[in-house]
Amino acid sequence: MELAQLIECCILKIKMSRSKDYYSILGISRDADEKQIKSAYRKLARKYHPDVNPNNKEAEDKFKQVTEAYECLKDADKRKMYDSYGDRWQDAHAYQAQGGDMGGSRFDFGDAGSIFEDLFGGFQNTDGFGDVFQQQGRRRSRNDSPPQDINISIEVTLEEIASGTKKTIEYTALDGCNTCSGTGQVRTRRSSKCSGCGGKGVVHQFPGMNMKCSACGGSGSTNIDNCPTCRGKCTIHANRKVEVTIPKGITNGKKLRVPGRGSAGSRMKIGDLYVKVTEKSHPVFQRNGDNLEVKVPVSYIDVLLGAEIRIPTLTGSVSMKIPECTQNNQKFRLTGKGMPTLSKQVGDLYAVIQVKIPKQISDEEKNILLNLREISGVTV
């Protein structure tokens, strides 16, 4: 260490002895852990926040102090510097880094926005408290929007489910902007006024407290501008056409995921498309899991005498024998004529006999039935 450095170092150590005590400002012990630091800060920040104490200079000063203390102690490296050099740790830091510009970087607010959203976000729905920070959070993250999933419902027939099918779905979504690779910004030849700070180089963070604009590094001008294609939004509207394969035997209400076909957020990150498959009700068949049920009207004569009848299935009708004296609502199982399942098995079809009574009978039929009544003695 050269002499000049040594002297500088000694001066810092002397300054330290008169320094603010971040630990006592936060009311914590010197060996407090990260959780205790955060919890102490949250409590004090809520208490002294300018929104809660309008026009209260004392509270504002307190608030600045606790924020400064927290910003330092929450960061392990900065905390180590502070423990060695006191609240001149930034100067020591700059000195160690041989930056030369001792006063150049006052403390860095870093993720202060997110801390405040975290602190006050919970109140927002009740009385708008904390709106300022929400807005600041949004402004900061304007070019950092997350991708979104898209949900779409489609209706398919039982026949389509039984055979499996493909469906073309059309919808609008957001695509990542190619011009700016989804960053919302492009480099320009000439430098222009920084849009982050309006050319001031600083951003108003809390009442009476400014921070260096991160967009322009405090210079007030940049050669970065909003992307002309997406106007800084990182995404553009797009009409999509996606073909979706509906697997054989899919169950009602099931969602199919099509990766990467949702809406883009910033930086070309893209969400997924979810297609909810809803089964249209069928005029003939009722689905019951993997099984189907069909009502089959049969004349009263055929149920009494037994007969060979036609049963509709999803793949055409088949014939089936019913025995003598088949009862109304009697069920017959046709194995393997139900729905295919995703596991490649096939359900059964149940034919439910519905006895058909004629609306009219001829005189001849009537005579026969009167005879029949005579013979069988059936009167009810």
Rounded to whole angstroms, the Cα distance separating 154 from 256 reads 11
Three-state secondary structure call for residue 237: strand
DSSP string, 306-355: -EEEEEEETTEEEEEEE-TTPPTT-EEEETT-S-B-TTS-B--EEEEEEE
Q: Does 215 bind Zn ion (CB under 5 A)?
A: yes
Q: Which lies closer to Zn ion via its Cβ, residue 232 or residue 262?
A: 232
Site for Zn ion (CB under 5 A): which residue of 112, 174, 177, 224? 177
Q: Does 173 bind Zn ion (CB under 5 A)?
A: no
Q: Does 12 bind Zn ion (CB under 5 A)?
A: no
**Distance of CA 247 to CAs 115, 254, 344, 360, Å?**
47, 11, 11, 48
**Shortest reach from residue 268's CB to Zn ion, in Å:** 10
Residues in 217-246 at the binding interface with Zn ion, rule: CB under 5 A: 227, 229-230
Interface region with Zn ion, contact rule CB under 5 A, candidates 46-54, 98-106, 114-122, 214-222: 214-222
> What does the block give as tokens for 140?
């900061």
Rounded to whole angstroms, the Cα distance separating 136 from 45 reads 17
Interface region with Zn ion, contact rule CB under 5 A, candidates 37-45, 78-86, 165-173, 175-183: 175-183
**Shortest reach from residue 227's CB to Zn ion, in Å:** 3
**Shortest reach from residue 36's CB to Zn ion, in Å:** 36
The one-character DSSP state at 283 is S
Interface region with Zn ion, contact rule CB under 5 A, candidates 2-10, 33-41, 104-112, 209-217: 209-217
**Distance of CA 137 to CAs 94, 113, 216, 219, 304, Å?**
29, 6, 18, 22, 80
Q: Which lies closer to Zn ion via its Cβ, residue 12 or residue 213?
A: 213
Residues in 179-208 at the binding interface with Zn ion, rule: CB under 5 A: 179-180, 194, 196-197
Q: Does 211 bind Zn ion (CB under 5 A)?
A: no
Amino acid identity at 363:
D
**Shortest reach from residue 192's CB to Zn ion, in Å:** 11
The angle that helices 34-48 and 57-73 make with each other, rounded to 10 degrees, is: 160
Angle at 101 between CA 99 and CA 106, to 5 degrees: 105
Residues in 109-148 at the binding interface with Zn ion, rule: CB under 5 A: none
Rounded to whole angstroms, the Cα distance separating 320 from 128 reads 71
Q: Which lies closer to Zn ion via its Cβ, residue 172 or residue 278?
A: 172
Count residues near Zn ion (CB under 5 A).
12
Residues in 54-113 at the binding interface with Zn ion, rule: CB under 5 A: none
Q: Which lies closer to Zn ion via its Cβ, residue 184 or residue 340?
A: 184
Determine the distance from the C-alpha atom of residue 45 to the mean position of all C-alpha atoms in its chain, rounded to a whole number.
Answer: 31
Q: Which lies closer to Zn ion via its Cβ, residue 162 or residue 230?
A: 230
Q: Does 158 bind Zn ion (CB under 5 A)?
A: no
Query: Which of 307, 283, 289, 318 minimizes the C-alpha distance to 355?
Result: 307
Task: Give me the residues that bind Zn ion (CB under 5 A), please.
Answer: 177, 179-180, 194, 196-197, 213, 215-216, 227, 229-230
